[in-house]
Amino acid sequence: MGSGLFDVVAMTERWVHTRPDAVACHIDGRRHAETLTYTELNDLIDRTARTLAGAGVGAGTRTAVLVPPGRELVAVVMALFRLRAVPILVDPGLGARAMGACFAEAAPEAFVGVPRAHLARVLLGWGRGSVRTTVTVRSQGRRPATGQAVESGTGGAEDLALIAFTSGSTGPPKGVPFRRRQLAGQTELLARLGALTPGAVVYSTFLPFALAAPSMGCGSVIPRLGPRHPERSDPAAMAGSIAAHGVTGLFAAPALLDRLARHCVERDPRLATVETVLTAGAPLPFSVLQRAQRCLPAHAEVCSVYGSTECLLVSAAVAAELTATAPATAHGAGTCLGRPLPGNRVRVIAVTDEVIPVWSDDLLVPPGTVGEITVAGPAVSDPYLGRPHDTALARIADEGGPVHRMGDLGRLDEQGRLWFAGRKSERVRTADGDLYTDQVEPVFNALPGVRRTALVGVGPAGGQTPVLCVECEPGTSRRERREIAERVRAHGPDLGEVLPHRGFPMDVRHASKIRRPLLARWAARELGRCGR
């Protein structure tokens, strides 16, 4: 990688030359798994690159990719990197309207997808004014393309390398562009976490990690997960794949890790090869950590990573730190997110919903005070595509580079550790002050029979009634749910209203995030029926 810049193709080609017969990818399929060595993966990438180049895709071509996880997706994305084209990664679980908005913002010039994706594009008009090149990808690949091999392109640090879209769990999906130097920063932070070391076998339910693994000398397991409801993916199949491939590194969101751990603890403890677990997307509840540790080897390390699409890796907390801080979390301190990773400058500013155009140290709150988390560093992305207002709300200009407002509330303690208090948009604004979800919910989550809780506000901001919604463990009866709700109410008599709920609405694209606006509307209806 010489220059130190992100170059996933050059990094992968290094292993093609030094370890040609080593496994680069394990692809889980409907009936059987497929294994690709570095030589085979390189050949597949080369054939795909020739096909794309023959269709007119070249350096700088913005290319939307709608291909399910598998060998074809790996080949297409890696081939686009080889051509120095710009992959546009859009979540296939988005609705038609959101997908159309993504295409309008990213303005792709090329579209690569499976046949049904092309059909949807034509019928719904996605990219009608911008797409001029289309390539159809069919399962089981295609015959090798003819013509000369495609050489890896060259480019500078400021070249646009990738466009990813946020999950849309807290608003419409937003296009996040990354330049090569910014992806370099992400890759270097990822390497510091220790899971992606040469020779490791990595099972990742998060596509960027799955694609990065082969470039770092790891065997990447590309799992077959539920396309719209990943949290409902078959845990038995996951456990079987982890055992069959001898997985040493596992990446999963907390909700999916919990589902896997529950299965393994109760029926199928087959995680004996796993040495490192990375989890992200939401704070890792201590109960999920404990459950996961019960089905992992004693020496295995669990690490909770905090970040966002705009800055994938901000801080990390290992299991020992989460265990040591669990009592404070259970008493309302929030969840420890660990220390910022090297290269990131994390600061906490006073809470406001207004635009902050220019940085000033006067924005900072004293250590220990809850405010909005900000981060600056080499891995922070460019401004959002076509969304100047959202960019203005999320960015602060500073002499040392842009400061990204995470939209999360938290604090820095005297030891330099970052603590999470909740999403800024989800704070409950009562007449007596604001309540923060992650300083309230963990206090009740450990009570017997409680699976999870969610704090929402009913009424106008500044005069909201706090309502704690309680989801019980699976299998509880209606009478048991009422009893558990009474137990929760007794544990926090000054909290406000407590309502049992059969099952929280979850974001189908982000298995660990509760759809709180829906839950707040439900709570308002329930309180209205009760006359409260």
The CATH number for 354's domain is: 3.40.50.12780
Do 462 and 482 belong to one domain? yes
Listed residue (198, 205, 275, 249) closest to 24, CA to CA: 198
Q: Are 163 and 178 in contact (CB under 8 A)?
A: yes
Contact 181, 158 (CB under 8 A): yes
- Do 457 and 487 lie in one domain? The reply is yes
Note whether 374 and 482 are same-domain residues: no
For 173-310, list the strands marked E by DSSP. 175-179, 201-204, 219-222, 249-251, 276-279, 301-306
Whether 91 is covered by a domain: the verdict is yes
Instruction: Quote the number of domains for the chain.
Output: 3
Nearest to 498 by CA among 517, 526, 473, 479: 526
Q: One digit per residue, pLDDT tens: the chain, 532 residues?
A: 333 335 677 788 889 999 999 999 998 876 677 899 999 999 999 999 999 999 999 999 999 999 888 888 889 999 999 999 999 988 777 778 888 999 999 999 999 999 999 999 999 999 999 999 999 997 654 443 444 455 555 566 678 889 998 876 666 789 999 988 888 777 778 777 777 788 999 998 877 778 888 888 999 998 876 544 444 568 888 898 999 999 999 998 898 899 899 999 877 666 899 999 999 888 899 999 999 999 999 999 999 999 998 988 999 999 999 999 999 999 999 999 999 998 899 999 999 999 999 999 999 999 999 999 999 988 899 999 989 999 999 999 998 789 999 999 999 999 999 999 999 999 999 999 999 999 999 999 989 999 999 999 999 999 999 999 999 988 888 889 889 999 999 998 788 899 999 889 887 555 567 889 999 999 999 988 666 6
pLDDT in tens, 294-304: 999 999 999 99
- Domain boundary residue among 367, 384, 418? 418
Q: For residues 401 and 504, state if they share a domain.
A: no
Crossing angle (nearest 10°) for helices 96-106 and 115-124: 80
Is 249 part of a structural domain of the chain?
no
Whether 435 and 397 share a structural domain: no
Least Cα distance to 94 among 168, 153, 156 occurs for: 168
C-alpha torsion 508→458→174→184, nearest 10: -80
Residue 252 domain-assigned? Answer: no
List of long-range contacts for 522-526, beta carbons under 8 Å, 24+ apart: 522/469, 523/456, 523/458, 523/467, 523/469, 523/497, 523/499, 524/458, 524/459, 526/499
Are residues 330 and 364 both part of a single domain? yes
137 located within any domain: yes
CA atoms of 356 and 360, how far apart (whole Å)? 9
Residues 207, 74: one domain? yes
Last residue of a domain, one of 379, 399, 418: 418
What is the 8-class DSSP label of residue 364? B
One domain for residues 316 and 354:
yes
Amino acid found at 529 = R
Which residues partner with 349 through β-bridges?
A: 364, 372
CB 468 within 8 A of CB 440: yes
Which residues span the domain enclosing 148? 8-224
Q: Around 531, how many Cα atoms within 13 Å sit in the side-chain half-sphere?
A: 0
Are residues 155 and 67 part of one domain?
yes
Q: pTM of the prediction?
A: 0.89
